[in-house]
Amino acid sequence: MEWRNLYRGLLMGTSDLVPGISGGTIAVVLGIYSRLIKAVDGVFSREWKKHVGFFVPLIVGIGVAILTLSKLIHWLLDVHQQPTLYFFLGLIIGVIPFLFKQAEYKQHFRKKHYGFMIMSAILISLLMFVNKGTPEPWGASLTTGQFVLLFFSGWLASMAMILPGISGSFMLLLAGVYPTVIQALSEFQLVRIVIIGLGVLVGLMISSKIINHLFTHYPSYTYAIVIGLVIGSVGVLFPGVPVSVLLSLITFIGGLIIAYLLGKIEY
């Protein structure tokens, strides 16, 4: 078992609770993105034993973060939204140089690769213009249609989780179920959590196979698109001119420093 993946999973799970942050982006920050995709794809295949050691500690870390930190993240976003988002902003910006290095862009990137990078960055940046209004959480009893929506919302969120720049929580916001999901996690509403979890599982099985195929057969193009998604996510995440300039600056620099240290360790 690769127990170092516990802390990686904690970071990924925490990020998935924040609308605008993708667990896939944090996997990129940690330098494990391509391996993560192979592990997710492999764990649902006949060769699952090869990937369990990598995958299980990661999933445990993600699960622990989601179940234990949902209230804290919800509080931080309510009380200190801008400094919290500036921290993640620094984390993402700080890893971009390491990501270029991992892609070996000097050897492999041509004009067409930069074209794909720019296009993917623009497409993700357009998400900042999407309505982010937060609806009210659902009541105690759910209809069949709401259960179906929870399942497909989990599916949609899982696909977003492993794509850098696309936040699973943001997709839940677009589906109108984000408050309901956060409430289910913070109050441990088991039935709702199981329905969402099944949707996440199905989504991971399908999307991981597609992304793994792209990394295997078109690595340079895939890296170019991934870098573009990460760069574009900066625009989506940007919380505007800070009200508390000093605190936001401190958290932003903290994110940059942690990204640099993670880059030195992980890359």
Count other C-beta atoms under 10 Å from residue 220's C-beta: 17
Residue 248's pLDDT is what?
Answer: 94
Q: Within 10 Å of residue 204's Cβ, how many Cβ atoms?
A: 20
> pLDDT band at 19, cuts 50/70/90?
low
- Reported in sequence order, the residue ranges of the chain that DSSP labels E, i.e. its strands, are none
Q: Per-residue pLDDT tens for 171-189?
A: 776 677 877 887 888 778 8
Rg for the chain, CA atoms, rounded: 18
Over range 8-21, report the average pLDDT.
Answer: 77
Span 34-64, pLDDT tens digits: 788 888 888 777 777 878 888 888 889 988 8
Q: Of 4-8, 102-106, 132-136, 143-147, which range is least confident? A: 132-136
Hey, what are 152's tokens?
């497909």
Q: Across residues 76-90, what is the average pLDDT?
A: 86
246 pLDDT more than 90: yes
Would the CA dihedral through 182, 188, 189, 192 be positive or negative?
Answer: positive
What value, to the nearest 5°, has the Cα angle with vertex 263 and ends 29 and 106?
90
pTM above 0.75, yes or no: no
Predicted local confidence at residue 166, as pLDDT: 65
The answer to whether the beta carbons of residues 252 and 88 sit under 8 Å apart is no
Domain total for the chain?
1
Q: Which residue has the tokens 């170092």?
A: 4
Residue 158 sits in which domain range?
4-266
Average pLDDT score over residue span 199-216: 83
The fraction of the chain above a pLDDT of 70, given in percent, is 88
If one counts every other C-beta atom within 10 angstroms of the C-beta of residue 147, the result is 13
pLDDT reported for residue 109:
93
Number of residues written out for the chain: 267
Q: Each residue of 116-175: pLDDT tens digit?
A: 999 989 987 776 665 454 455 677 777 888 888 889 888 878 876 677 666 677 677 667
